[in-house]
Structure 1
Amino acid sequence: MFKIESIFTSFFAIAILAGCATVPMADKSRDAALKEFQKPTKNFAGLYIYRDTFAGQALKKSVYINGKLIGETANKTFFYQELTPGTHVISTESEFSENELSINVESGKNYFVEQYLKMGVFVGGAGLKLVESDKGMNAVKKCRLAKEAETEVYLKKIQKN
């Protein structure tokens, strides 16, 4: 019985010491404006990609749209992009390969994609799923807008990690 308690205590201590991953955050005023869920710019669709999971809080995961790096997620973060109507591929890094989700978007509408973490062999993997607007809006309201990958410095920094 003592061994089980020791193992559990050790596991719990490691989980606490591992902490939560952090990523650069965007301007608070932009965060607040995006949480009003206005219609996107004329002739565009709005895409919110968010991560709101308890599992894997110490992990950062990259997110791409049509092969372009948008940035890294941590727990309770989101990104927003405006897309041209049509089919787009959203992908995220996972343990062994990219996980992809193709979505067809229409102008004037907002779409919500949840990035979720799942168990892996060595580290946690990640997946993506399109969710209903109500669920997506409620989740995004609990998250903060992460800063997008815009500069070479940022790209070099995340490639080293």
Structure 2
Amino acid sequence: MRALAATTLLCLSLIGCASVPMADKQADAEAKKFATAQDMSRIYIYRNEYFGAAIKMPVVLDGNILGKTVAHSYLYTEVVPGPHVIAADGENTEMLKLTTKAGENVFIHQQVQMGFVSGRSGMKVVDAAEGKAGVLECEMIEPQY
């Protein structure tokens, strides 16, 4: 049964990509300047991999839907500095608690991992160099908030 689920998930990841509304090129280019207001923080959540391409992963920030990530996409938002909770749903619900600082960019790498029935979400905070490189490989999703 597990082998069948794994094979199905692999096939789905190779068949095609899920789609979500993408931001316009100008908004994408502006976000990739990584300029943050001195009194705010920016959070970037990106998926720069093809594995799980057919899977949309909903992302929630502090109880509000931010959007759904797909392969080679990213979401970003400006937040008030302080504690925040980011949740991503798949076969599991991955929760990440972090505290942002004014003027800071926070980069979160989201991965789709193989699950039993569907894809599982994994998230981790990465350093600025890795995060910027990952975001530059992706296209910005139109925020849903």
Normalising by structure 2, report the TM-score.
0.88
By percentage of residues, which structure has more strand? 2
Q: RMSD value over aligned CA atoms?
A: 1.9
Rounded to whole Å, the distance in 1 between the matches of 2:34 and 2:79 is: 15
- Specify which of 128, 131, 134 is matched with residue 129 of structure 2: 134
- Match in the other structure for 2:58: 62
Choose 1 or 2 for highest CA Rg: 1
Asked if 1:80 is matched to 2:76, the reply is yes
Contact 2:13–2:50 under 8 Å retained in 1? no
Relative to structure 2, which stretch is displaced further, 47-56 or 103-112?
47-56
Contact 1:94–1:127 under 8 Å retained in 2? no
Rounded to whole Å, the distance in 2 between the matches of 1:79 and 1:111 is: 12
By percentage of residues, which structure has more helix? 1
**Greater than 4 Å deviation, 4+ residue runs:** 14-17
**Unmatched segments (≥5 aa) in structure 1:** 1-9, 151-161
Rounded to whole Å, the distance in 2 between the matches of 1:128 and 1:15 is: 21
Higher relative contact order by CA 8 Å / sep ≥ 6: 1 or 2? Answer: 2
- Match in the other structure for 2:23: 26
**Unmatched segments (≥5 aa) in structure 2:** 1-6
